[in-house]
Structure 1
Amino acid sequence: MRTLKILLLTLFAVSLSLSQDYDLLPPSFFKANREELMKQIGNEAIAIFYSNSLKTRSNDVEYRFKQDNNFFYLTGLEEPDAVLVLVPVGFAPSVLKLATRATGKYYDVTLDTIKSDFKIRELLFLKERDSLREVWTGRTLGTKGAMEKLGIQLALPIEEFKNVIRSIIFSSRAKTIYFPYPVGCFEGTLKDIIEVLESIVSSQRGRLQFADPSFILAKMRMVKKPEEIKLIQKAVDITVKAHRQVMMSCEPGMYEYEIQAIAEYVFTKLGAEYPAFPSIIASGENSVILHYSSNRKKISDGDLIVVDIGAEYHNYCADVTRTIPASGRFTPEQREVYEIVLKAQEETIKLVRPGVSFIDLQLKATEIIAEGLLKLGIIKDKNEARKYFMHGVTHHLGLDVHDVGVPGNLEPGMVITIEPGIYIPAGADCDPKYWNIGVRIEDDILVTKDGYAVLSSGAPKTIDEIERLMKRRGIGNEPID
């Protein structure tokens, strides 16, 4: 009995070794995405997708691995050097048996268990488990694990791709290969894949052609499923808590990187795997730089600080911006500019509902900012507003912080940002009292059936709310011995 208990505990530990999270997307989510993609491309095509590879940072140190988002959306796999092949019409297992006969040390056992009338429609190639490698880099799924844990129909070692892909393409009688052809140089596993596919297409010139699946996937990904919205909300909730700690901790004399450290500590403490993008902590003259990210300046009394941050939780991103006064109180000039941006944001959010165009949102935000700047005398004509508000007011949010989408109007299930801003650099053609005032306010918005829901409403954004919270002490005020 004691031996049985030890065995069960060991198996339980192994099952948790790849991930100890209990809110991951289920295999059925990725299966549904694969089925939808095959429906979109039709029976006269196949689709081939490749994962990201590990990238070298320096010498023998690699960057932390981040999966290609389309590949993740279709598989759920978080490992490098893998290939997914989707064949809507399916092919018989005998195709693989014939193709692997020359090397056939691999899958005779697996294939012999498959019924002869069974059609293989999805095939994942990935690295097989290697006990020596796993000592250094951790446990991987391998082919058996991919089928069991990811619900993939059939998985083979990556080395078999070049041996079987030609037979799969010909047996399916495909006329089109959907393949996200990479731009620029490529090496390693991806280089081998490209060479094989180019050889096949070249030998079948006139019968086979490449097509890009990006548009199809962008259309699928831009409308989020309920389980995706749940993960985005989690990422947003973590980001909101980070903003609150930043507001409570901020004080003159700190460095921008200290504010970054507070935010990213909260991300990690609350379970986010990454920042969704390089954190922007832009104080004083840096507040007018849209994507400033060096975060090395010492924060001065009187500075405004644009804090544009977002957690990434289980691959899904948040993107929330607040602008706060280093001293805890806005100056009169800062207050004037801030109130214009806040009004622009609130009025633009009110427009969000199904059927509204992205252009409508942009025009509303620009109109209100132009009116406000004109009233303050910062511009003399409404057309000059673009000098100080030069970016889009919205973008999709999801697996990417600037997520994919296709032209059109808002639909239920979309998650977007609303983020107007005003940026007045030193030397601008206006009263110098407004110089080096940069303000951006950004929230994450779910488009609902009847309108919208602000996912990031927990982050204070009115002047009174911000100033009140900044009177409290935060985790960043504690000394480090």
Structure 2
Amino acid sequence: MGIDLREYRQRRETFMAKIGQGTAIFRSAPTSVMHNDVEYLFRQDSDFFYLTGFNEPEAVAVLIPHHQEHRFVLFVQPKDPEKETWTGYRCGVDQAKELYGADEAYPITELDEKLPQYLEKSDRIYYHLGRDKSFNEVILSHWQRLMATYPKRGIGPVAIEDPAPILHPMRQVKSPTELAMLRQAMEISAIAHNRAREFVKVGHYEYQIQAEIEHTFRLHGGIGPAYPSIVASGSNACILHYINNHRQIQENDLLLIDAGCSYGYYNGDITRTFPVNGKFTGEQKVIYELVLEAQLKAIESVKPGQPYNEFHDMAVCVLVQGLMDLGLLKGDLEEIIKEEKYKPFYMHRTGHWLGLDVHDVGVYKQGEETWLPLQPGHVLTVEPGIYIKPDIKPAEGQPEIPERWRGIGIRIEDDILVTETGHEVLTSGVPKLLDEVSF
């Protein structure tokens, strides 16, 4: 399973049709050092990968739709048998054309020499001024030199523009092949979650559950975790991005697992919360049922044409009403929501885009007031939760929280595809109904 050259070529063609006389430059991800001379596992920049499929560092892709011969150019590391002995085989210049469909390829060392010929007849440069400050300076220096000669030539790039507003809406709508990759990532994620639930027992440490999950990811062909796995028992579940995973699980604990597999750089993202001994306490059960109701109703509202914020607003309404019914919030429903007095219990939004990045690219709003309408091919998460920290401080004018509620953290998350007629829950293979997670 994978994405073939034809799809990468079509992506480039679609993008280039939108930039006209511009030239776009994309830089590969940098290598990151773990300590001393030991590097982290390389992970390619998602925009670069989306357009090229090329998975090596120290590379630059240039797209020049107005060039007669070289519309797609790659600058890559040349073959070097001595270095490849240490760090692995390289594609090299010749194979960059053969394997990745480049019209021309050069060694990365020739970038400064060759790049001006692809910029001089452009009306603008499309480049994201990101965290790679040294490469930012390379692009800016080329642009400044061309601008200095613009009055004599009457042609050249007069602006640098971020390609994200053009490229990221393309990435938001997933192709059939991308959906197949996402489904595989989510299937492996589901297998891992189900394995964790079978494996866990009172007395285990959180890291043992993490090990079982991530072992399952690799066992089934995944690259590994899509993000640091969250295995949070007891009150640790009230920490949204808890990743220490070192506590020993106790009797009557809930266990919140937020973990997803990366498969071919496409990602799953699932959260489940369940009682380790199979039995909810009374307070745990009430909060669980409330979060589940909020999630199910939020998912129901996911359909094409609906504004993105609709499912979040639905989840918040259900959660606030439920907390009011329990006496944990008081006042007028609409006023509590408007003044965000529920935030001590629920401090994040109900979802995000999902794809090559876990928090995938693409806008959520069109201007200050208008939310982006959902459309077929969008993939997003729906993940409401309630977090009652042991030291929770209620909003002004709200009741103090009795001790019996404190330390309960519950989140339930699924990955949802927007379809032509509604939606599809892509992660339904992991149980979440009350009688499925308890006995």
**Normalised by the size of structure 1, how large is the TM-score?**
0.83
* Distance change (3 Å), C-alpha of 1:204 and 1:327: farther
Contact preservation (8 Å) 2:252, 2:276? yes
Residue 201 of structure 1 deviates from its aligned partner by 4.8
Which runs of structure 2 are paired with 1:332-343 in the superposition (5 Å)?
332-343=282-293
**Match for 2:63 among 86, 111, 114?**
86
Q: Distance in 2 between matches of 1:314 and 1:209?
A: 35
Match in the other structure for 1:112: none
Contact preservation (8 Å) 1:166, 1:200? no
Q: Distance in 2 between matches of 1:286 and 1:331?
A: 17
Q: Distance in 2 between matches of 1:200 and 1:320?
A: 49
Match in the other structure for 2:433: 462
Partner SS state of residue 66, structure 1: coil
Partner SS state of residue 354, structure 1: coil
Match in the other structure for 2:225: 275
Contact preservation (8 Å) 2:269, 2:413? yes
* Distance change (3 Å), C-alpha of 1:45 and 1:198: closer
Whether 1:413 and 2:404 are equivalent positions in the alignment is: no
Residue 289 of structure 1 deviates from its aligned partner by 0.8
Question: What's the % identity of the aligned pairs?
Answer: 40
Match in the other structure for 1:107: none
Report the AA paired with residue 440 of structure 1. Answer: R
Contact preservation (8 Å) 1:394, 1:416? yes
Report the AA paired with residue 359 of structure 2. Answer: H
Match in the other structure for 1:260: 210
Match in the other structure for 1:164: 114
Residue 202 of structure 1 deviates from its aligned partner by 5.1
* Distance change (3 Å), C-alpha of 1:122 and 1:48: same
Partner SS state of residue 324, structure 1: strand
Q: Distance in 1 between matches of 2:417 and 2:46?
A: 21
Residue 195 of structure 1 deviates from its aligned partner by 5.8
* Distance change (3 Å), C-alpha of 1:292 and 1:318: same
Whether 1:186 and 2:133 are equivalent positions in the alignment is: yes
Deviations 1:255-294 (A, max 9, x none): 1111111110100100110211111111111111111111
Whether 1:176 and 2:124 are equivalent positions in the alignment is: yes
Whether 1:359 and 2:309 are equivalent positions in the alignment is: yes
Gaps of 5+ in 1: 1-22, 92-118, 469-481
Give the stretch that moved more between structures: 413-422 or 212-221.
212-221
Whether 1:37 and 2:15 are equivalent positions in the alignment is: yes
* Distance change (3 Å), C-alpha of 1:161 and 1:224: same
Match in the other structure for 1:400: 357
Q: Distance in 1 between matches of 2:142 and 2:206?
A: 48
Which runs of structure 2 are paired with 1:91-110 in the superposition (5 Å)?
91=68
* Distance change (3 Å), C-alpha of 1:360 and 1:191: closer
Match in the other structure for 1:57: 34
Match in the other structure for 1:99: none
* Distance change (3 Å), C-alpha of 1:372 and 1:204: farther
Report the AA paired with residue 251 of structure 1. Answer: K
Residue 385 of structure 1 deviates from its aligned partner by 2.3
Q: Distance in 1 between matches of 2:145 and 2:125?
A: 10
Partner SS state of residue 376, structure 2: coil
Partner SS state of residue 289, structure 2: helix
Match in the other structure for 1:391: 348
Q: Distance in 2 between matches of 1:60 and 1:138?
A: 16
**Match for 2:297 among 343, 347, 355?**
347
Deviations 1:446-466 (A, max 9, x none): 000000010000001012112
Q: Distance in 2 between matches of 1:201 and 1:447?
A: 45
Q: Distance in 2 between matches of 1:59 and 1:148?
A: 36
Match in the other structure for 2:148: 203
Q: Distance in 2 between matches of 1:191 and 1:89?
A: 24
Residue 194 of structure 1 deviates from its aligned partner by 3.4
Q: Distance in 2 between matches of 1:81 and 1:286?
A: 40
Report the AA paired with residue 12 of structure 2. Answer: R
Match in the other structure for 2:416: 445
Q: Distance in 1 between matches of 2:61 and 2:391?
A: 54
Q: Distance in 2 between matches of 1:148 and 1:411?
A: 36
Residue 299 of structure 1 deviates from its aligned partner by 1.2
Contact preservation (8 Å) 1:417, 1:443? yes
Q: Distance in 2 between matches of 1:422 and 1:280?
A: 16
Q: Distance in 2 between matches of 1:316 and 1:24?
A: 11
Contact preservation (8 Å) 2:351, 2:380? yes
Contact preservation (8 Å) 2:129, 2:136? no
Q: Distance in 2 between matches of 1:316 and 1:204?
A: 44
Q: Distance in 2 between matches of 1:317 and 1:86?
A: 27
Report the AA paired with residue 122 of structure 2. Answer: A
Residue 427 of structure 1 deviates from its aligned partner by 3.5
Whether 1:422 and 2:386 are equivalent positions in the alignment is: yes
Q: Distance in 2 between matches of 1:127 and 1:57?
A: 22
Residue 315 of structure 1 deviates from its aligned partner by 0.6
Q: Distance in 2 between matches of 1:204 and 1:460?
A: 65
Give the stretch that moved more between structures: 286-295 or 161-170.
161-170
Residue 222 of structure 1 deviates from its aligned partner by 0.5
Partner SS state of residue 306, structure 1: strand
Residue 186 of structure 1 deviates from its aligned partner by 3.3
Match in the other structure for 1:116: none
Partner SS state of residue 327, structure 1: coil
Deviations 1:16-69 (A, max 9, x none): xxxxxxx12101111111111111111x21111110121111111011100000
* Distance change (3 Å), C-alpha of 1:159 and 1:427: closer
Match in the other structure for 2:259: 309
Q: Distance in 2 between matches of 1:260 and 1:204?
A: 58
* Distance change (3 Å), C-alpha of 1:359 and 1:401: same
Match in the other structure for 1:225: 175
Tell which structure's C-alpha radius of gyration is larger: 1
Report the AA paired with residue 211 of structure 1. Answer: E
The number of residue pairs the alignment matches comes to 413
Partner SS state of residue 387, structure 1: coil
Give the stretch that moved more between structures: 355-364 or 413-422.
355-364
Q: Distance in 2 between matches of 1:213 and 1:75?
A: 15
Residue 199 of structure 1 deviates from its aligned partner by 4.1
Residue 361 of structure 1 deviates from its aligned partner by 1.1
Report the AA paired with residue 389 of structure 1. Answer: Y
Q: Distance in 1 between matches of 2:75 and 2:171?
A: 24
Partner SS state of residue 386, structure 1: coil
